[in-house]
Structure 1
Amino acid sequence: MASEYSLADVLERLYQNQLALEAAVMELTLWAEQQDASETGENVRGALSTIGENAGHIKQGLARIRGRAS
């Protein structure tokens, strides 16, 4: 049962949550921009850009952790 909660598995789930939140925030951003809240949309897109950049680093880190565990 302990293997169900390995560090790699927990980090993978956090990564999946991050991707889901990114998608949800993007949907809200598109809606806000349709409501003429373009400044808000620009601000959120900046934050989403950071999330996207970090996602690559997280994925690489997970691959390294999984490689060591094998």
Structure 2
Amino acid sequence: MPNSDLLPSLLFKINENQLALEAAIMELTNRVEKRGASEVAENVRGALAAIDRNEEFIKMTLALMMTPE
């Protein structure tokens, strides 16, 4: 298997890790907010919004890369 065939699988796994980290950070953010740090929670949510904005594009691109020619 050529190394270039591994690239889509690698990117898929990196994306999975990114989504898992987003979920974990959001859980921590919710706890921080419950303890009264709502400004911090909003800042974190703002930073995580980039993951949400890019998720659909990443999924579509990975699907194209993983489609056999």
TM-score, structure 2 normalization: 0.87
Which stretches of structure 1, 4 residues or more, deviate above 3 A after TM superposition? none
Partner of 1:28: 28
- Within a 5 Å distance, the mapping from 1:1-70 to structure 2 comes to 6-67=6-67, 69-70=68-69
Aligned length in residues: 68
TM-score by length of 1: 0.85
Unaligned stretches of 5+ residues in structure 1: none
Unaligned runs of 5+ in 2: none
Aligned residue type for 2:18: Q
User: Percent same amino acid at aligned positions?
Assistant: 47
CA–CA distance in 2 between the matches of 1:56 and 1:26?
19
